[in-house]
A and B are shown apart, each in its own frame.
Chain A
Amino acid sequence: MVLRRLRTVAVVAWYALLLLAVVAMWKSNAPQFIYVAF
């Protein structure tokens, strides 16, 4: 039970970290997705 909760907390923290990295590196002039031009 404790292990499962720890795992859930770790997963949430991992995705929060990914989201933080996305926000930190967000650029308003980022290149468009390649396939949208196709």
Chain B
Amino acid sequence: MLFLAIWFWVFAAVAVPVYWLCPQRFKLYWLLAASAVFHYHFAGPAGMAPIIVLATVTFFVAQAVSGESGRWLFHAMWMVLVAALAFYKYQGFVLGNGVAALSAVHVSLPPWLTSWRQPAAPLGISFFTFEFVHYLYEVRVKKRAPIRNPFHFAVFSIFFPCLAAGPIKRFPEFVPQLAALRNPSSAGAWAGARRVIRGLFKKVCIADLTVEAIKVLDGPSQYNAPIVIALAVLQGFRIYYDFSGYSDIAIGLAQLLNLRVPENFDRPYFSTDLREFWRRWHMSLSTWIRDYIYIPLGGNRAHRAFNLVTAMILCGLWHGAAWNFALWGLYHGAGLAAEAGVRRLWPSLFGDGWAPRLFGWLICYSYVTYGWLLFFYPLGTVFHMSEGLLRWSYVG
């Protein structure tokens, strides 16, 4: 339940005021202790172990790779981080599909393989592994100075407002703040409290209510266009208000501690093209994908369409180990690549006048909204829904 658990609000009601009352030299340690308590409560010792091990190794490896040597160590370490993510998140998907494929060609498999159960993924693994890869890349490739203070790195790793689901922090912006922790001004604290309340309202009063509406509409004997359109629009509202609500709570809590973390949303549904949408949707992830996958692949310099599609498929798979997420990523990658081609051939279609902007918004919103069906439903259901889009008559 995290931010929706009563335990969390009791914890926050103690952790934040005690932080304010702490003398400046103790604030860092209190922040670390509070984050550890939060982590222990929600993840347990087994859930904490992977992040402690990976954070410790990443901290020391970053010191080693910051000089001229250590190229291989850098590559080995980011691969270890990706392997840890894959181990916890994708082994069930890979084994399940592998077993199904081998069974289909009548290959006999040992019982332990067919009955293998994937262990539960540690809390926030998708987020902290991305933060560690970012940290190593910045230190090694961008030649930034590594974090020398282990307490700073520990707070960067398990900072409780962002631990479970981001926003994905960037160490050059976050860590310098830890060197001079101060209480927020009364205006800053009030702004943080308002942000937290807005986030709770988005989640409890809009996103969860949307879920109820989806339950009422979903599962007809036969899908038709009005129902499919309504479901797609509602799923779009649900995910926006759910995740931007979560992000508001995380950013607001950080503000209450006088710390800035990245923004995640900037009114994405007002975007007039897909490129703009991805600059305004889950910004801390989309900029990560841009900086650490898309640009290293070659970015706009060469085979741009391939880079876009690859980066977006990986973005889709990051959300979960299932074919529908891969297809959702492919769908957005193909859309971005097609849009880049159209922009090159007919730049006037993307002009500043109201007509191209309205037309662009309509296309972009429709494209993104159809994509939520791929995101939320299994492929078979999406197929039936897509058939239903051609049917306007009601069948109860």
Contacts and interface: CB of A to CB of B under 8 A. Distances in A.
Contacts, number: 68
B246 A31 contact: no
Contacts of B164: 33, 36
B165 to A, nearest CB: 4
Interface in B164-196: 164-166, 193-194
A21 B201 contact: yes
Contact of B204 (A11, A30, A32, A34): A30
A18 B201 contact: yes
B54 interface: no
B242 A33 contact: yes
Interface string A5-38: 0000001000100110110011100111111111
Contact of A34 (B166, B194, B239): B239
A33 B243 contact: yes
Interface string B44-59: 0000000000000000
Interface stretch (B1-9, B12-20, B24-32, B359-367): B1-9
Given A31-B211, A34-B243, A22 B201 contact: yes
B291 to A, nearest CB: 19
B243 A22 contact: no
Nearest to B42: A36
B211 A38 contact: no
Interface residues of B, number: 30
A36 B164 CA distance: 6
A26 B320 CA distance: 28
Contact of A25 (B2, B193, B204, B318): B204
B208 A27 contact: yes
Interface residues of A, number: 18
B320 A36 contact: no
B251 to A, nearest CB: 14
A37 B166 CA distance: 12
Interface in B193-214: 193-194, 197-198, 200-201, 203-205, 208-209, 211
B130 to A, nearest CB: 11
Contacts of B1: 30, 32
A21 to B, nearest CB: 5
Contacts of A34: 238-239, 242-243
Contacts of B197: 15, 18-19, 22
A25 B246 CA distance: 17
A11 B4 CA distance: 24
10 contacts: A18-B201, A21-B201, A22-B200, A25-B204, A27-B204, A33-B2, A33-B245, A33-B246, A34-B239, A35-B246
Given A30-B204, A31-B211, A33-B203, 8 more contacts: A19-B201, A22-B200, A25-B208, A26-B204, A27-B208, A30-B203, A34-B238, A38-B165
Interface of B: 1-4, 123, 126, 164-166, 193-194, 197-198, 200-201, 203-205, 208-209, 211, 238-239, 242-243, 245-246, 318-320
The 3 closest A-B pairs by CB, nearest first: A35-B165, A33-B246, A22-B200
